[in-house]
């Protein structure tokens, strides 16, 4: 994997951190995004001490700001001449209604819109890199999701669990529609289910729920296995537009296969991100 570049959103903890470390061990040059300089520097320190001579960089980006996403994409393009693997990993799960800096419901803004914009801004660089891959971290909870094109901002009847599920459904619809658009290139696009992982995603939940969840949680290292597989495996490269669980293609909800809905979501996302 020498000289291959992988960009991961959110790698200062959890699945992203475990994924980044494993890819560094595989010889990738890893670039990751972070919101905190202190956490980013601490993560860099840890990586360089556990994986000697690794190549790793970071950029400070708040994915809740589309302006910052645009600025980061421009910096990335100015810095690197290739992008072999893009892993859209970062995510939030908010129990109460909160808005992004652009006024969008926060789970949808970070989990879908930010990655939709970032992927499209970097797409020329990705498709000109031989055998490149785009990987979207979704969730099994997408089965509880619905997409209401007229209420994507979820200002009506907000429910945090539902909003998260909707954003994870959006990840899969985005994956399938982008894979269709790129079918004449050698870039693959796949989504995945990492499992119920012990990360900071549940920090906003009541303490009793956090304690209960720990019974079922798997380690970030186990949760990262499918992301690493999709990023590195020659066998995985033959798939595109699929959803993976435990390194194998898996079934998804009926609505996640609705390509007309995927098109509508794509068009709405273009408008919301003001992307030409």
Report the distance separating Cα 87 and Cα 6, nearest Å. Answer: 7
164 labelled catalytic: yes
Catalytic residue among 45, 97, 158, 164: 164
Report the distance separating Cα 111 and Cα 89, nearest Å. Answer: 8
Strands of the sheet containing 85-88, edge to edge, are: 55-60, 29-34, 5-8, 85-88, 133-137, 188-193, 243-245, 248-249
CB atoms within 10 A of CB 100: 21
Report the distance separating Cα 215 and Cα 195, nearest Å. Answer: 13
Report the distance separating Cα 214 and Cα 1, nearest Å. Answer: 35
Q: How far is CA 2 from CA 125, 232, 254, in A?
A: 18, 12, 40
Alpha helices per DSSP H over 1-134: 14-25, 37-50, 66-79, 106-108, 114-121, 123-127
Report the distance separating Cα 227 and Cα 170, nearest Å. Answer: 18
Q: How far is CA 208 from CA 95, 97, 213, in A?
A: 15, 21, 9
236-262 burial string, b = 16+ CB within 10 Å, else e? bbebbbbbbbebeeeebbebbeeeebb
Q: Which residues are catalytic?
A: 164
């Amino acid at each position: 994997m020498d000289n291959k570049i992988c960009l991961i959103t959110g790698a200062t903890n959890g699945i992203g951190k475990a994924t980044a470390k494993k890819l560094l061990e595989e010889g990738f040059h890893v670039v990751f995004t972070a919101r905190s300089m202190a956490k980013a520097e601490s993560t860099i320190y840890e990586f360089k001490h556990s994986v000697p001579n690794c190549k790793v960089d970071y950029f400070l980006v708040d994915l809740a700001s589309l302006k910052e996403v645009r600025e980061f994409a421009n910096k990335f393009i100015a810095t690197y001449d290739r992008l072999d693997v893009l892993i859209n990993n970062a995510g939030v799960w908010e129990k109460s209604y909160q808005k992004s800096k652009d006024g969008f419901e926060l789970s949808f803004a970070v989990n879908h819109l930010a990655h939709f914009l970032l992927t499209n801004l970097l797409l020329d660089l990705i498709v000109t890199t031989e055998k490149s891959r785009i990987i979207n971290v979704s969730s099994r909870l997408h089965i509880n999701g619905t997409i209401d094109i007229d209420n994507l901002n979820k200002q009506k009847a907000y429910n945090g669990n539902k909003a998260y599920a909707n954003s994870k459904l959006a990840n899969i619809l985005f994956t399938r529609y982008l894979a269709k658009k790129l079918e004449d290139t050698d870039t693959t696009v796949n989504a995945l289910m990492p499992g119920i992982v012990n990360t900071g995603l549940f920090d906003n939940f009541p303490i009793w729920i956090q304690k209960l969840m720990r019974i079922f949680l798997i380690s970030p290292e186990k949760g990262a296995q499918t992301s690493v597989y999709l990023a590195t495996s020659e066998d995985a490269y033959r798939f595109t537009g699929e959803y993976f669980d435990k390194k194998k293609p898996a079934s998804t909800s009926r609505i996640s296969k609705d390509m007309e809905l995927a098109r509508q979501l794509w068009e709405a996302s273009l408008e919301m991100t003001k992307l030409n």
